[in-house]
Amino acid sequence: GENVEQHPSTLSVQEGDSAVIKCTYSDSASNYFPWYKQELGKRPQLIIDIRSNVGEKKDQRIAVTLNKTAKHFSLHITETQPEDSAVYFCAASRDTDKLIFGTGTRLQVFP
């Protein structure tokens, strides 16, 4: 079955700097890769996703890149702000199959 690894487990950056979180997956048939942001005590929220037919997707300050050959995908946050502080989860799935989540990255943005 699918296995998703996520690094780093914690990440601290200064406000205004960029943050990058990386995930690798094992199932080459996976074709959908969402990213979720979970603030303390709240539900995970979908912030961006990418499908296997594209290599990069941007939405304002966040972007996701996908390398199908290497089976890894990354979340990039530019110009970080304190409100970006949260736990971020990557996930992978195949078609409408279940999501398999990574272990999470706790991002702290210091003002």
Partner 1 sequence: SAVISQKPSRDICQRGTSLTIQCQVDSQVTMMFWYRQQPGQSLTLIATANQGSEATYESGFVIDKFPISRPNLTFSTLTVSNMSPEDSSIYLCSVELAGVGTYNEQFFGPGTRLTVL
Judged by CB under 8 A, the number of residues near partner 1 is 22
Which listed residue (14, 60, 83, 95) binds partner 1 by CB under 8 A?
95
Give the residue with the Cβ less far from partner 1, 78 or 108. Answer: 108
To partner 1, the closest distance from the beta carbon of 3 in angstroms equals 12
Q: Does 93 bind partner 1 (CB under 8 A)?
A: yes
Which listed residue (7, 27, 32, 108) binds partner 1 by CB under 8 A?
32
* H-run or E-run covering 18: none
Neighbour tally for 97: CB within 10 Å: 15
Closest CA to 109 of 39, 30, 54, 42: 39
Burial class of residue 19, CB neighbours in 10 A (0-12, 13-18, 19+)? buried
Q: Does 23 bind partner 1 (CB under 8 A)?
A: no
Q: Does 103 bind partner 1 (CB under 8 A)?
A: yes
CA 43 vs CA 16, 36, 37, 46, 73: distances in Å: 26, 9, 8, 10, 23
Binding site for partner 1 (CB under 8 A): 31-32, 34, 36, 42-46, 49, 51, 89, 93, 95-96, 98-104
